[in-house]
Amino acid sequence: MSGECTTDAQWFDQLWKDHNQSLYRYCLHLVHIYLYRGRTGSFRSEAADLAQLTFASAWEKRESIRCEEKDPGNWLRNTARNHVRNLSRRSSHTKESPSDNNELVNLDGTTLEDTSPGPEYSEIWPVLRELSIPDRELLILTYWADLSIGQLAQLYGISDAAVRARQTRARSRFRDALEASGMTHLIPSTAATHGDNNE
């Protein structure tokens, strides 16, 4: 996004419009991975708080983002991930339930789209949560958050080839865990439903 002819407020307004929905959905996954590792559910309030915190950081760093960042979306994803990891480290224990089920709205009054991973995700979550956090995060961001290879490479600061290698190892461990849990029927359907995005 070029900011040469726009004010800071105009730039930030456009950033919000371009990324509000996608960042909120991304934050839902992050909250699930890092803060609610013991159960499934809809954590809309916590995800919205995380997204708001991330946009607040964007406003504070607006000058450097406008001048240096070619992809503000990547900056937002990295920042949200850093925030939720810090929150997770500060927590004395993993939370057990969402704080509320209130419907959330955007600043313009439109409803934020809630994102449910779906019944298959709920079924395999007991297996996913037994994986290491790096494996669990990579699998969820790949197959449910639908981040591309390039986006994951930017998020982790590694090459596309390194992302693919990590995905291969994580999938192998996940497959072994599914087989050990007697959920082999989910292995082909997971691959078919959430195929790789290599762009």
Give the CA distances from residue 8 to residues 53, 64, 66, 169, in Å, rounded to whole numbers and listed in that order. 18, 12, 9, 43
Mean pLDDT of 103-127: 51
Residue 152 confidence class, pLDDT cut points 50, 70, 90: very high
The mean of the pLDDT values for the chain is 78
pLDDT value at residue 108:
36
- In terms of residue numbers, what domain contains 189? 117-199
* Residue that is last in its domain, among 114, 141, 173: 114
Highest mean pLDDT pick, 58-62, 89-93, 127-131: 58-62
* Residue that is last in its domain, among 69, 90, 114: 114
Q: At what angle do helices 160-180 and 149-156 cross, to 10 degrees?
A: 100
Q: Do 72 and 45 belong together in one domain? A: yes
Q: Do 145 and 156 belong together in one domain? A: yes
Residue 192 confidence class, pLDDT cut points 50, 70, 90: very low
* pTM for this predicted structure: 0.73
- Spatial separation of the C-alpha atoms in residues 111 and 41, rounded to whole Å: 19
Torsion of CA 90, 39, 134, 141, to 10 degrees: -110
pLDDT in tens, 25-83: 899 888 888 876 554 455 788 889 999 999 999 999 999 999 888 889 999 999 999 99
Give the CA distances from residue 39 to residues 55, 98, 111, in Å, rounded to whole numbers and listed in that order. 27, 10, 25
| Angle, vertex CA 16, rays to CA 70 and CA 3, nearest 5 | 45
Q: Do 163 and 74 belong together in one domain? A: no
- Domain with 132 in it: what CATH number? 1.10.10.10
